[in-house]
Structure 1
Amino acid sequence: MKKHNFSAGPCILPKSVMLKASEAVLNYDEGLSLIEISHRSKPFVDIMERARSLALELLGLEGKGYKALFLQGGASTQFLMVALNLLEKRAGYLNTGTWSTKAIKEAKIYDDIYEVASSESGGFNYIPKGYEISEEYDYFHCTSNNTIYGTQMKSFPSTNIPMVCDMSSDIFSRTLDFTQFDLIYAGAQKNMGPAGTTLVVVKEDILGKVSRKIPSMMDYKIHINKSSMFNTPPVFPVYVSMLTLQWLKDLGGIKAIEKENEKKASLIYSEIDLNPLFKGYAVKEDRSNMNATFTLENENLKETFDAMWKEAGINGLNGHRSVGGYRASMYNALSLDSVKALVEVMSELERKA
């Protein structure tokens, strides 16, 4: 029985994507597996170009001066790479959780970083508001969605300086004006594909303005000039990401999946709010549509609840160790039926209690 996969990542992927990817591992190009063909061969070059093109198309950034790259090292490498390529004197960072904290730590290696606002005092259960962004910063960095705490930025500040956003856990999940961002990065394993590749979408005209020498592997311009093929790319993760992006396009794009994501979020949060046995972790106005975090009001029910959701075929519901409780990650490929299954278990616990 296929389980209801609420894992925070690596994430659930569409069944059709999994089937096609598994077939490609056995035979993709005239008796050769996808993972044994040359990355310089035309079949894989076509895959890479298609993946990059689909990313820009879905984000509405085609023909607007942006380039899409599929790189390695995860979002954690981007914490460093962003600073290497953009930080000359000082940058502003919004601290909304673990990942932005780590991004700040890496950037500080190279120059002065100013924390424009932080929600740490509230256990990162909200998104700061009303902060100011100096136009003297080289760039402003934020994290759109926080998997651990279940918060999500519902709007983004207006600024005349480059805006960088870590969208690892909600990329392609909701409609936004993506032209407001000058650089977006996202690890594939949350909403695109398996771990091993990272999507970077960057506006070319923000590059080449720092005085430092940048190592070749960390230089966005080199990766752009080499069409994201400067070194051997992660062939399988790029292919699966391409399939997932095509699946999303065939569904009707981001606008279509956003409607489904809103239904899923509305259903789970309604149960959390109406069921007296549960309490949401994030403040209501900043709740994430990707990651619903909640706790039991009575910890004596934990053993019973855990047994019930596991019996129902639910997987990956435990909260992050730093927060505890539970976390239902509802990425694009998770069905509404899976959320209904979880809500039914929560309702059944109330009836039994």
Structure 2
Amino acid sequence: MTRAYNFNAGPAAIPLEVLQQAQEQFVDYQGAGMSIMEMSHRSTFYEQVNNETQDLMRELFQIPENYHVLLLQGGASTQFAMLPMNLLTPGKVGAYVQTGAWADKAIKEAKVIGEMAVAASTASDSFMRVPRLDEIVVPENAAYLHVTSNETIGGTQFHEFPDTGSVPLISDMSSDILSRPVDIGKFGLIYAGAQKNLGPSGVTVVIIRDDLAADSPKSIPAMLRYDTHAKAKSLYNTPPSFSVFMMKLVLQWIKGKGGVAQLDQLNRDKTGLIYDAIDGSGGFYKGCAHTDSRSIMNVTFRMANEELEKLFVKQSEAEGFVGLKGHRDVGGLRASTYNAVTLESCQALAQFMKEFQQKNG
């Protein structure tokens, strides 16, 4: 079969090698006579998958020993509420950096749980940039500061993170986790849905410092407490076993590629091809995000009018490109270049963009 040039924003591309490996083990996992999906999550087979997945996350992301790696369900959207339920204590405020649609969703949920404050916002710039670090003002009574490391819709990304001192720094890294090295010690908690860089949808990773996990209030349901899952090593209830298995294979693939530092360079090379096509077009393509806030995961751009953009999408689909239409809330065009998107796919897109410009410029 011919593989599509997959630029979907999520669920997104999964490495072909991983899909083939999963296919080989789909019916009979390691000679057990059954699929991993059919096994008890209390079995030796699955406990090994669970442990190996967490260990690989620790190794690849260089997660210190005083952090738990949790494999949960519900996506980042559940974390929007679970975070303040666990960490937003009476007399404190949840501080949020407002950078776009996903930060707004986190803010909306925090308001349901307790008091919140906007520590910085780029709404006046239509969320086409992230704030400078000196624009972020953390309230004295902040329970935490929350940032969205990468906004998939606007195509913006933090390239450095604030030093919050004793206030825990929290980040939604759903769309750029493991795409580049990060100093985990700067963060109290990191969370990410898997369906962009870690595998298929269904599993959500939470990296949480021990002291924050231990302080989960007993007044909230057990399933929504971080300490519940930390004590049970992510096996408190039936996990999304196949998604965790797929995540393990993706992590092994990342390790085989040389780790996160190697992927970081590859990702910059990939998006560089597309940004060069935009910047070198003489204004035919116009990048949306401010240059110093550009994402290496989601490249957003516009053209002279919507009709031309529709033609671009139609002709690109005919050439095997998938997912280049911008988010429904903002329109335009977007290429999501997550870890599994190949350099060859980005080369092909850059070439298509140049040819499209020649025909329609």
Q: TM-score higher than 0.5 here?
A: yes
DSSP-derived class of the 2:26 partner: helix
* Matches for 1:303-342 after TM superposition, within 5 Å: 303-342=310-349
C-alpha distance in 1, partners of 2:256/2:18?
Answer: 12
User: Which runs of structure 2 are paired with 1:159-174 in the superposition (5 Å)?
Assistant: 159-160=164-165, 161-174=167-180
C-alpha distance in 1 between matches for 2:25 and 2:72: 21
Q: CA deviation at 1:181?
A: 0.8
Cross-structure match for 2:84:
83
Q: Please, which moves more after superposition, 247-256 or 20-29?
A: 20-29
Query: Does residue 103 of the first structure (1) align with residue 106 of the second (2)?
Result: yes
Check if 1:141 corresponds to 2:146: yes
Segment of structure 1 superposing worse, 54-63 or 250-259: 54-63
Moved more, 198-207 or 299-308: 299-308
How far apart, in 1, do the equivalents of 2:78 and 2:306 lie? 38
SS of residue matched to 2:195: helix
* Corresponding position of 2:271: 265
Distance apart, 1:22 and its partner CA = 2.0
State which of 250, 255, 261 in structure 2 corresponds to 1:249.
255
Q: Distance between the aligned counterparts of 2:306 and 2:51, measured in 1?
A: 51
CA contact under 8 A between 1:97 and 1:120: conserved in structure 2? Answer: yes
How many pairs does the alignment contain? 352
| CA contact 2:97–2:119 (8 Å) conserved in 1 | yes
Specify the alignment match of 1:59 in structure 2.
61
Contact map agreement 2:213 2:230 (CA 8 A) in 1: no
Tell me, yes or no, if the aligned pair for 2:217 and 2:225 is still in contact at 8 Å: no
Task: Report the identity percentage.
Answer: 43
Q: Name segments (4+ residues, structure 1) moved above 3 Å.
A: 207-212
SS in structure 2 at match of 1:85:
helix
After superposition, the CA RMSD in angstroms is: 1.3
Aligned-partner SS, 2:143: coil
Structure 1 residues 149-170: Cα deviation after superposition (integer angstroms, max 9, x where no partner): 1000111111111011000000
Cα 1:206/1:30, change in 2 over 3 Å: closer
Q: Give a deviation string over 1:255-281, Cα, whole Å, max 9, x none.
A: 010010000111111111111311011
2:302 and 2:309 in contact (8 A); partners too = no
Helix, strand or coil at the partner of 2:9? coil
1: CA distance, partners of 2:6 / 2:112: 38
TM-score, normalized by length of structure 2?
0.95
1:93 maps to: 96
**Structure 2 spans left out of the alignment, 5+ residues:** none
Per-residue deviation at 1:134?
Answer: 2.7
Q: Distance in 2 between matches of 1:210 and 1:194?
A: 29
Structural mapping, 1:1-353, within 5 Å: 1-28=2-29, 29-63=31-65, 65-88=66-89, 89-129=92-132, 130-160=135-165, 161-209=167-215, 213-275=219-281, 276-353=283-360
In the TM superposition, residue 210 of structure 1 has moved relative to its aligned partner by 6.1
* 1:111 counterpart letter in structure 2: G
Aligned-pair CA distance for 1:249 = 1.0
Q: Following the alignment from structure 2 to structure 1, what is the Cα–Cα distance between the partners of residues 307 and 140?
A: 52
Residues 64, 184 of structure 2: 8 Å contact kept: no
**1:299 offset after TM fit, Å?**
3.8
Structure 1 runs not aligned, ≥5 long: none
Please say if residues 294 and 326 of structure 1, whose CA atoms lie closer than 8 Å, have aligned partners that are also in contact. Answer: yes
